[in-house]
Amino acid sequence: MHERMTSFEGVSLIGGFEVPYRRHADTDTIAQLTAAVVGVLAQCEVPHHAVDGLGVSSFTLQPDHAIDFAWRAGFTTRWCMDDCLGGASGIDLLQHAARAIQSGDASVIVLVSGDHFGASDFTSLVENYNRATRSHLAPLRTGGPNPLFAMLTQRQMLAAGLQREDYGRLCVAQREWASLNPQAVYQQALTLDDYLASPMVTDPLCRFDCVPVVSGANALVMTAEDHPLAKNARARGLASVSIRALRAIHNFDQQAGDGLHSGMHLIRDRLWADAGIGPEDADVISVYDDYPAMVLAQLDDLGFSPDHDLPALVAKQLAPRLLAVNTSGGQLSAGQAGAAGGLHGLTEIVTQLQHGAGARQVDGARIGVAGGYGMVQYRYGMCANAVVLERRA
């Protein structure tokens, strides 16, 4: 019998909030993070003084850290955490925060991620992302991760029999979801012809394959299921969202691999065994979509394409939106607000499971899955994680 050593019982997510993403916003990172925290506390009716735990992920908060933001926000915390795992940061924060609540280190935790990029901030980030990038890529003036993912996409196309049209159909489907999301940066219709005619960035990636850099932030509130604030939220109609299973892996020798896997294939079986269900039971899914190739890699690794036929997955499930993937529009249409990208999909899953997604709401959503992928070195990502969430009445 499988023993659930990774149980996260007794912990609830009681709300998620997103500051509307914007391009060329006249703001700063602290303002974005603050707006997200204020918004989620108001949504959940959590008083400021009740917060005793804080987790922060941001590239542009530097030289400040989580403790500096806690001071600026006026929080007195018993648990405080900085996270720098990029697209894996949201689920990483979630994992550690859940353990903090279970152990009694904190009772009400806010997780917040976000960034605002000034004119030179993004260039500085991609050239100094880590020592490997600074030493090996920046001197080549590659301009960031686009060439890396172009080569990975070429390899995926050859291995899986994919064509540019397949990636285009994925982007079109996510734009259709975004058209139902009033907070998405790009909501206007996108056709396959538009995609194929768009300017090439680096072969085979066109403009619509690359996430648009925006400013924004996301925040979540966590507490124990039996905490009075969780009970109050439920009494007001905000369903609690519990963690049914969560698995993570770091530094999994991806640098020696071919990049065709996200790392989630190494945690998939344990994730679903912990959850006691399978991929077919998921109602809504969010995976980190910095590029379309990574959407397909993660869905395949998580078991949503059991025969590994990625062209069929696109044609039969994603293009007609029968599989509800990245219902916010994903970062490809909603935008990537730096480190907020690690929390964006998780916030969308919480919103869907609380049945608060408006026109894009997935009917009767009860089980949600979110995946994170991050910390690209001069080859591939070093961190992957995934969580299965469940709506509780």
My answer on whether 232 and 303 are in the same domain is no
- The pLDDT assigned to 375 comes to 84
Q: Is residue 6 part of a domain?
A: no
Quick check: 209 and 167 in contact, CB under 8 A? yes
Counting beta carbons within 10 angstroms of the beta carbon of residue 101, is it exposed (0 to 12), middle (13 to 18) or buried (19 or more)? buried
| Structural domain contains residue 4 | no
Q: Are residues 267 and 374 in the same domain?
A: yes
**Token pair 């990208």: residue:** 341
Where helices occur in the chain by DSSP H, the ranges are 29-44, 66-73, 89-103, 121-127, 131-132, 146-160, 164-178, 192-197, 228-235, 268-275, 292-301, 310-313, 330-334, 341-353
Same domain for 24 and 155, yes or no, is no
Per DSSP, what are the bridge partners of residue 390? 242, 367
Q: Which of 242, 260, 286 is the last residue of a domain?
A: 242
In a domain, 270, yes or no: yes
- The reply to whether 199 and 275 lie within a common domain is yes
The answer to whether residues 67 and 204 belong to one domain is no
Answer yes or no: is 375 within a domain. yes
Please answer whether residues 175 and 329 qualify as being in contact, where contact means their C-beta atoms are separated by less than 8 angstroms: yes
Of the three residues 202, 227, 242, the one that is the final residue of a domain is: 242
**pLDDT score, position 3:** 37
With respect to residue 141, please indicate whether it lies within any of the assigned structural domains.
yes
- Regarding whether 264 and 236 lie in a shared domain, the answer is no
Residue 353's Cβ-count burial label (10 Å; 0-12, 13-18, 19+) is buried
What CATH number should be reported for the domain holding residue 298? 3.40.47.10
Residue 83 is assigned to a structural domain of this protein:
yes
Overall domain count for the chain: 2
Measure the CA–CA gap between 66 and 375, rounded to whole angstroms.
Answer: 19
> Does 361 map to a domain?
yes
pLDDT in 10s for each residue of the chain, 393 residues: 233 446 999 999 999 999 999 998 899 999 999 999 999 999 999 999 999 999 999 999 999 999 999 999 999 999 999 998 999 999 999 999 999 999 999 999 999 999 998 767 777 777 777 777 788 777 877 767 898 899 999 999 999 999 999 999 999 999 999 999 999 999 999 999 999 999 999 999 999 999 999 999 999 999 999 999 999 999 999 999 999 999 999 987 777 778 899 999 999 999 999 999 999 999 999 999 999 999 999 999 999 999 999 999 999 999 999 999 999 999 999 999 999 999 999 999 999 999 999 999 999 999 999 999 988 876 788 899 999 999 997
Task: Supply 164's token pair.
Answer: 């540019």
Pairing of strands 205-206, 53-57: unpaired
The answer to whether residues 103 and 234 belong to one domain is: yes
Domain that holds residue 317: 127-211+243-392
Give the residue from 198, 226, 242 where a domain finishes: 242
Quote the CA–CA distance of 31 and 67 in Å, as a whole number. Answer: 16
In this structure, the answer to whether residues 201 and 255 fall within a common structural domain is: yes
DSSP 180-225: T-TT-S--S---HHHHHHSPEEETTEEGGGSPPB-EEEEEEEEEET
Element (H, E) at 389: strand 381-392
Same domain, 177 and 32: no
Alpha carbon distance 94, 388 (integer Å): 12
Which amino acid is located at 68 in the chain?
D
Same domain, 225 and 324: no
- Please check whether residues 98 and 176 belong to one and the same domain: no
pLDDT of residue 6: 60
Whether 252 and 294 map to the same domain: the answer is yes
- Beta bridge mates, 249: 384
| Residue 1, pLDDT score | 29
Whether residue 165 lies inside any domain: the answer is yes
